[in-house]
Chains A and B, each alone.
Chain A
């Protein structure tokens, strides 16, 4: 069995996320986004690769959408309504609530403003959304009898989720976009330690390691505070969702703590709808917001009031949040025109502004004048503050997640090719996990886990219940070591509990596999027990007889007589005891170390004797036998014996 991952979008690029994964025969489409950079056919994923006959309902078992951004959900109405997919679609509740707003907004911009041909209508969006099944965090959804999916919190934006999918024994996680550090209003991604074959993760910031955002927050607060303390006005152009709430919580808290009384305004368009969603979807925010929710909803901003147009020219300091984010028009432009000429005022801009917007002009260079159009020119004397909060995880966060989940394979998507290559190298070298970053329309095949179900016998279960551990002092390869990836020999006291491993797997023809206890095996197959014994007849030199004075040995050639058998044995015992310590025991007729049994060999021709050539030195032969368990020890002893000279006392 294998897992096949066909990347239709976001392969070595950012945009139109779409990955179709086949796990043990089940096919799931993760995300169905559109590329905002293209206007031609490249805008959508190439769905024809999924099924040549365009019969998507049989080709795909379900679609999973991670969050409401258009590069993750944008192509969904097209795929369902135009391409005709009608199977199940899963997304979280907030995503289901917010996606139609985003889609409709986009459609309007495309059709109304730019006058393009519409790809899907408002009707399509509504119909498409009707097919969506909303899921909750950590809710396990049984899509069909083999396939189950589960959503985990991903941070990033309201309602963003990572999805776990499992078919039979093969399991994988698709992260979508996520954030490993918490915001002021969203939490950090959170997932269980799962056994995974595959992890598909975003890699927007594959090589960036970001510093603590506290410093940026501090700079922002300092700038705002300084401006209002000097009686200036602060304009914060933002988008309705996410950034506005983030900054507003930050400011509201600061105001509260510092006892500031300067008014903070929200331009009317923002407050009502966006904050309503946040207030309703409290369970998707971060820990602090959730904790204080009982006493105070963090989105009921204490110091925030709604803005009235007449206040634009009112004297005194204030802070104003206004849409749209990059001062591309609308209310924020209107206010900017009036406030920009005063050097007391401050405009804070997001880290990234699209080229062509006023925001972009302000952040690149320090213009003193901006031409709005042919006739109107704004003189800009106000202060500009740039502030970037990215809701994506950084390289360290990706590594942390991969390390925590420790999947067997990783596929990187949603990033830039050279950076992905560098991250792939890091994952492979540091964590030892196989990593891929396929291009669009490429397929990656990885092997998947397959467990075989087996019956068990009662004795086996009983034996597994009773602890049966032993301690071994081993010279082992320390693989668990994370400080040093190189495996180096360490001698460590280790614990083994073999109770489960002690069973024996029996696979009989046309029967289900079964695990039995080792004692049962013989009974089951009706055979006797065989022990494998090793034997070796080992010569031990006795050197020059003359030198062994005081010992009256009657030697015929090189074989010892019976009467001397015991004395040779004793001699050997004495020698071995000094080398082996107290392990060896003398039983009169033989010596014993564990299962190794050593006795004097009196036969002329012993089948276990290998030295066929004529003996140069006189030697006594000792027959050694042992069982499998002591192979190493036995050979060790034999090598000692072969190098012994019994005559030297």
Chain B
């Protein structure tokens, strides 16, 4: 290859003399030389020389275009030359007279400078005039390119503002759009403080709300929203209300646009406005112009001050009202679910502003529960939940039918969100209370899987409405009491539910003297396991037992010695008061015979037994804890780039842990988990190295990073799926690492398989969000940042150039947090054995299926896991067999069985080696593997060592 160098260079040079035709072949071979990592340095240098000379000589635009491309390739693949490339391109840029080529070289320069910080200062030397002159040329494409990339160049904000503002007048809609986007970007930089300028920008954006082009109107909505916010912030206190109303009404005028994107943008923007007059808010819920508003004075009383701003007072409020009329009515019955969703979402924030508005909005939201789209229904419920947490949820009798309907909805999410609202809801009369209880009981009947949550909701409702409970329990007491045959019907979930409701009453504030018959509490003791499982967030079993036995003696509970703290807001209160009396303990022993108790998850506070066990392994635990703490410190070194040191430390940890290997079962799982974590950290560190500013002596083989990322992915996946019983925090930690990996992958243009990664990213984020909400855990900074910019990442998915910046910023916001291992995760693993196969191959007949008797041992695999046996001869010859766990017997912890695995497509060979392995389907990965042999539909994570099986042909 390199022999050709001479001819290649010659060819390229000949371009300069013979301008007519481009020698594309020469250019192509030059490029292949550049990107080939094994090309020698001297060759690259020679190529660089040639290209630089060529850059000086030629004037032919097409040739120059290719040269610039090649030079940028050199800079990116051979970082030692990037400085030289930078300077030669820069000197070209300064004398180039073609706008298009100037733009191209500027693109090359800026991307080099973004990689190499040291060159950034050289970028700064170019002055604003130079940059700006680019977009004043006649080339529209350069203009729009420049405007959309302007933030990458060191231009003073005010110059940039002038340019952006000016180009909102451009005749080309695309340029107008980009200029508006630029203005939005500028508004975020918060350097512009001049009131007049802000007003100017805002007014310009308002003018463009009437643009003929959809995309421009959409961008204008964003701009109006952002600059409107700035405007509100910049004016005096007394005018703020006036202006935020004005901005709000402007945005309202866009909700009836014909373009769906514009409508979505308008509703999104409406939700971002922090202060709005109640009159206007109420008007958005009615299509008719409300009478009361007309009599009112114009908003605010600060007319004189406003005049000083050069502004005017709207003489007729009804014109504003007319514009705002029914904005949300339209939004919530829009044809596109995106718009409806967005309208629900912006109600979310606006309902905080006014209780009256929230009350009116609820009427509309209740109807949204009848929407066809699950997303919209869920959003509406979440908005209601939010209203409930702000104490703005005033549910009325008429709403109940619609609302309680959601309790029997098909979707689990809808049901659980509806119950969450019910927990916080204030029910005014017995009728509503009764219907809510009926709704919950119906929910329980139709979906028995919701039992735990329903019981806990009943408990909460009961606590909040003690008086009603007493009334209701009287009615239901027939059902609870043993029937005349003396048979207790306690296995019915319905009875359990009623008992939970009954026992909650004494805790109610309203009910000082409880008139629930004390025997009911004794009945409840028989369902202790079931109930305490459901109420595990509120109290542990011992507390519950103590409470029940206390109440069965006398039902007067003094609130001052409150057993359980009242629920505040949404956060389930986990702090339990341990009230273990000796009597309680003995009772507890008795109760533990109850079958139900087996289902209880061991909880640290509730089961001293487990503590005891842990003590045995305290040494291991302590050392694991210490190591996890140290890993946290390592991250600092990784960021510094001290890779050798990092790897050395990780190795020593591993060795330290290895000494505990022989310990008992429980710690083995924890150990396995720690090992896995160490592996992940090591890989992450190695990957991270590639993203640090390059050092002089570094050179990487191409594809190395790709390989590392692949490994990292695999290990993270194992960490996520091969361990059962991870707490929410732990799971979130793993998810965060996965997210970082995704971002790392996206950052390398040459690697990323863009769409798949983006899809994964959004999936993980939504899962993480779910966990955050479920566990009420403060989300990590990185995840928050990522979520914010997810939209941006998405929009630039055509490989445009704003991304690197964004991704870099994201990566900077990441830091490895300390992993707190709270519980003991269970390691899912498997062993395959085929006794005697090492000495004697299994017989087979070519072309006929063969059965392989495998002895399989599964650890911690539950019957919900879907396992597959993979058998490979070579890449093309692979078969999957499903392992049906229901037939295997054994319990979840250890299952041992022999499985006759059929292998169908035996090849024509005298002997062959079959590699057998067990994989588990990953629940959350939704990648369809294309297998022609009816294999798994989701990605697999392999849970055992590959076993080689030897097969020998039966001689005929």
Contacts and interface: CB of A to CB of B under 8 A. Distances in A.
Interface SS, A side: mixed
Given A467-B166, A497-B166, A480 B367 contact: no
B618 interface: no
Contacts of A464: 171
Contact of B312 (A254, A258, A490): A490
A390 interface: no
B227 to A, nearest CB: 12
B587 interface: no
Interface stretch (A4-12, A208-216, A439-447, A515-523): A208-216
Contacts of B337: 287-288
A471 interface: yes
A212 B315 CA distance: 30
Contact of B200 (A188, A222, A254, A493): A493
B162 interface: yes
Contacts of B410: 256-257, 259
B504 to A, nearest CB: 28
Contacts of B210: 480
Interface in B141-169: 143, 162, 165-169
B335 A188 contact: yes
Interface string A221-256: 110000000000000000000000000000001101
A258 B257 contact: no
A492 B200 contact: yes
A489 B258 CA distance: 32
A211 B364 CA distance: 10
Nearest to A291: B337
Contacts of B315: 484, 486
A258 B310 contact: no
B199 A492 contact: yes
Contact of A473 (B162, B196, B311): B196
Interface stretch (B87-95, B131-139, B385-393, B673-681): B131-139
Contacts of A469: 166-167, 169
B287 A211 contact: yes
Interface centre among A188, A394, A430 (most CB of B within 10 A): A188
Nearest to A288: B372
Interface string B187-220: 0000000001101100110110010100000000
A328 to B, nearest CB: 31
Interface stretch (B317-325, B483-491, B621-629, B633-641): B317-325
Given A256-B410, A493-B199, A483 B168 contact: no
Interface stretch (A35-43, A189-197, A540-548): A189-197
Nearest to B198: A493
A496 interface: yes
A548 to B, nearest CB: 41
Given A191-B258, A212-B367, A213-B333, A466 B409 contact: no
Interface residues of A, number: 62
B199 A212 contact: no
B332 interface: yes
B203 A492 contact: yes
A467 B136 contact: yes
Contacts of B334: 182, 188
B335 A258 contact: no
A79 B251 CA distance: 48
A462 B138 contact: yes
A494 B200 contact: yes
A125 B463 CA distance: 73
B322 A212 contact: no
A166 to B, nearest CB: 16
Contact of A258 (B169, B256, B326, B405): B405
B253 interface: yes
Contacts of B323: 482-483
A478 B258 CA distance: 25
A208 to B, nearest CB: 10
B249 A483 contact: yes
Interface in B304-362: 310-312, 314-316, 319-320, 322-323, 325-326, 329-330, 332-337
B170 interface: yes
B7 to A, nearest CB: 43
A187 interface: yes
Contacts of A496: 169
Given A259-B446, A430-B322, A493-B203, A209 B136 contact: no
A585 interface: no
Contact of A484 (B206, B312, B367): B312
A146 interface: no
Nearest to A152: B258
Interface string B254-298: 001110000000000000000000000000000110000000000
A485 to B, nearest CB: 6
Interface in B402-424: 402, 405, 408-410
Nearest to A405: B258
Contacts of A368: none
Given A288-B337, A430-B322, A495-B204, A190 B368 contact: no
A363 interface: no
A218 interface: yes
A331 to B, nearest CB: 29
B250 interface: yes
A485 B319 CA distance: 8
B257 A287 contact: no
Nearest to A497: B169
A404 B169 contact: no
B136 A217 contact: no
Nearest to B286: A211
A181 interface: yes
Contacts of B197: 493
Nearest to B339: A287
Nearest to B203: A492
Nearest to A490: B310
A226 to B, nearest CB: 8
B332 A259 contact: no
Contact of B335 (A212, A287, A488, A492): A287
Given A188-B335, A467-B136, A471-B162, A396 B326 contact: yes
Interface string A134-146: 0000000000000
A495 B169 contact: yes
A342 interface: no
A259 B415 CA distance: 13
Contacts of B143: 467
Interface string A454-483: 000000001011110101010000101011
A615 interface: no
Contacts of B401: 218, 222
B370 A209 contact: no
Given A396-B325, A466-B136, A493 B196 contact: yes
Interface in A183-208: 184, 187-188, 190-193
A466 B137 contact: yes
Contacts of B170: 467, 497
Given A259-B446, A400-B256, A484-B315, A467 B167 contact: yes
Given A213-B333, A217-B367, A469-B166, A500 B138 contact: no
Interface in A44-70: none
A327 to B, nearest CB: 27
B333 A182 contact: yes
A610 B323 CA distance: 56
A499 B172 CA distance: 13
B727 interface: no
A627 interface: no
Given A209-B287, A259-B446, A471-B165, 15 more contacts: A181-B330, A182-B335, A213-B333, A214-B332, A257-B409, A258-B405, A258-B409, A478-B312, A483-B314, A483-B323, A490-B310, A492-B200, A494-B203, A494-B204, A495-B204
8 contacts: A217-B367, A222-B401, A396-B287, A471-B165, A483-B246, A494-B200, A495-B168, A496-B169
What 7 A-B pairs are tightest by C-beta distance, nearest first? A493-B200, A214-B367, A182-B335, A497-B169, A465-B138, A469-B166, A488-B312
